[in-house]
Amino acid sequence: MTSKASATELRDRVVSSLIPGLDLRPFIAGEFTDPVGSGEITDTDPMTERTLAVLPAAGPADVDAALTAARAAFDQGPWPRMTAQERADTLDRFAALIERDTERLSLLEATDTGKRLAGVRGWDVPQSAEVYRYYAQAMLQARTTSMPKVGEASVFVRRVPVGVCAAIIPWNFPFACISWKIAPALAAGCTVVIKPAERAPLSAQALAALAAEAGFPPGVVNVVLGTGDVAGRALVADPRVDKITFTGSQETARSIVAGSASRMPRLTLELGGKGANVVMADCDLDAAVDGTITAMFDVQGQNCCAGSRTYVQRGIYEEFLDRVVTAAEARRLGDPLDEKTEQGPQIDRAHFERIDSYVKGALKEGADCATGGKGADQGGLFYAPTIVTGATSSMRITREEVFGPVGCVYPVDSTEEAITAANDTDYGLSASVWTSDLDFADRFVTEVRVGTCWVNCFGYFATEVPWGGVKLSGQGRELGVAALDEFMDGKSVFRI
């Protein structure tokens, strides 16, 4: 089957061949095992709303087995005792297997999430392989830092792995987010238990098989799919977990913090955003319009860094709004496996209804829709690209993360008002600004409270650049050398 196959042919291949080729059982201690739990998770295709697979749901006993394996692999196994080069070699093999299976993994991910195949094939999967290679190399750097002597004692700081790590994965970027979480953990010498997203679990099952093929020792990588209130709760509450890394909602994060509070494990939390996208009158308007469309609607708006609050200087507000509405209405919605598609369906019916409730709520509160505001003509789970005007700073649609193809546009009069509005949120993940005034751009970068700023661009990422938020967008960082510190402890040593 080639990339020129039709979307229907590609979906048939996924359903008839790729999914039946997966082992859907928990992956524990280096092998797929029959689950102890009796529950099931039904995974559906966002495009057709049909069942893709019925997977066994891990229960507390399965989580216990995974943690027993991970704890033994860390406490007695070879992985944390290997040289950095030996671990790097395994991570490099893992990356090579991902690269070998790029097409298969991309088809599974796109079908399972409703994301565009072109985007998954072009970024999610290859970037994941790059992340494993990056951390393989990063750990080859010196792990011990020498310091000035104290009296007669030589002093150094030895960096050691944290221990057993629980990685809880979101459904919008499942394959990529696994790599962001476990690559630095594995490079550091930790062992991991992965709980995939219930709404998009297939690529994690495929990854588990590749982990076995790559030669990770038993118990180093474990995958247990289960519901948050059963498997997730058992995982975060277990005293054998030294570190939890999670991407998802604030509500779930609060449950994780509460469930693990008695033992206070290390935490990395990425909790979404309500990104400000500021467009000043002196900007390159063509670039700002294109960037705003991407910021609002990429990945169907199911994107933590979405620029869902766009503040436009009043002098260009009407022209900007007209151009953005025209561009939104021209977006090509369709099958995510079709190369021509620009926007696919939402992840499932419940999320579709959630998005619609935000829009309808804003309209009842007095806002207007410049375009969209309903399900798209394609039917199913397609939500029309939506632009809301007239929303106030107190409305839910301004305050809360909609996580759909919905953007609000607001006029502002001054640079001061733009910065104040950008900061008027409980979130602090990312923001973007479009201006030719580099002094203002520098001020914006300095004063807006976020983890990442884009100036005259949107959505740039790099494996070596840290990613994470402030305020209620979370704590800690992923990517870059900074992420290694999230999975290592510094041990101060005085020696005579």
Measure CA 16 to chain center.
28
Write the DSSP symbol of residue 151: T
| DSSP conformation letters of 158-213 | EEEE--EEEEE--SSSHHHHHHHHHHHHHHHT-EEEEE--TTS-HHHHHHHHHHHH
**Which of the 8 DSSP states describes residue 449?**
-
| Whether the Cβ atoms of residue 228 and residue 244 lie closer than 8 Å to each other | no
**Cβ-based burial of 285 (10 A; exposed 0-12, middle 13-18, buried ≥19):** middle
Backbone φ and ψ for 67, nearest 5 degrees, come out as -70, -35
d(CA 466, CA 472) in angstroms, rounded, equals: 18
Q: Which amino acid is at 202?
A: L
Q: Does residue 227 contact residue 41 with C-beta atoms inside 8 Å?
A: yes
| Neighbour tally for 322: CB within 10 Å | 12
281-283-286 Cα angle (round to 5): 115
287 CB contacts (<8 Å, ≥6 apart)? Answer: 434, 456
Give the other-Cβ count within 10 Å of 31's Cβ: 13
Question: What are the CA-CA distances from residue 177 to residues 6, 36, 166 (Å)?
Answer: 28, 27, 13
Torsion angle of the four alpha carbons 181, 187, 190, 193, in this order, in degrees rounded to the nearest 10: 40
Residue of 109, 130, 198, 270 marked catalytic: 270
Please name every residue paired with 313 in a beta bridge, in sequence order, or none if there are none: 412
Give CA–CA dist 146/437, Å, rounded: 44
Residue 193, token pair as written in the block = 């238990």
Out of 304, 305, 369, 408, the active site residue is: 304
| Distance of alpha carbon 109 from alpha carbon 120, whole angstroms | 7
Cα–chain center distance at 296: 17
Task: Tell me the C-alpha distance between 252 and 270, whole Å.
Answer: 11
The answer to whether residue 270 is catalytic is yes
Burial (CB count within 10 angstroms: exposed 0-12, middle 13-18, buried 19+), residue 256: buried
* 190 part of the active site: no
Which residues does the annotation mark as catalytic?
270, 304
